[in-house]
Amino acid sequence: MSGAKPRILYYELPGGWNLLVGGTDADNDYLSLELAQPNDWWFHVDRLPGSHVVLRAKAAEEPSKDTLRQAAAVAAFHSKARNAGTVPVHYTRARYVSKPRGAKPGTVNVARGQVLTVRPDVSFATRTRGESAAPESRKPQP
């Protein structure tokens, strides 16, 4: 980052799942490459500009398919596809996201993942001021 404070939006999904959304290309880099932990889930709309979205992993619980679809819908909402009907959204574990050497801000490689087709939506999500998880719960998981 160029000294500017990252602009990260925070949401809470049903079930207490925390979602982080990058505001700019530089914020997307910071979110995806520095804030995201290896077991977190990463989302981005297919073939269009949009925010990187990270669903924080929980130590003893995997997200349901509904939770993954909700996170994908938020990623679609925070993209150029916001007003589209349905949108393909890529998702994977954050450990599979990397930055190509010399790539412009916001550009990443994704080594593996899946696609969900969702409608852009944030109506089920609650905007929060920050992560509600305690700092000690954010340590990297094996």
Q: CA dihedral in degrees (4, 32, 57, 117; nearest 10)?
A: 120
Beta-bridged to residue 21, according to DSSP, are 9, 53
Strands 8-13 and 126-128: antiparallel
Q: Report how far residue 66's alpha carbon sits from residue 62's, in angstroms, rounded to the nearest whole number.
A: 11
Check if the beta carbon of residue 87 is closer than 8 Å to that of residue 120. Answer: yes
Q: What is the pLDDT of residue 140?
A: 46
* Model confidence band, residue 142 (pLDDT cutoffs 50, 70, 90): very low
* Model confidence band, residue 116 (pLDDT cutoffs 50, 70, 90): very high
Percent share of the chain, pLDDT over 70:
89
What the block records as the tokens of 97 is 């996201």
* Model confidence band, residue 132 (pLDDT cutoffs 50, 70, 90): low
Position 61 pLDDT exceeds 60: yes
Contacts of 63 (CB under 8 A, 6+ apart): 17, 41, 55, 71
Is 0.85 surpassed by the pTM of this model?
Answer: yes
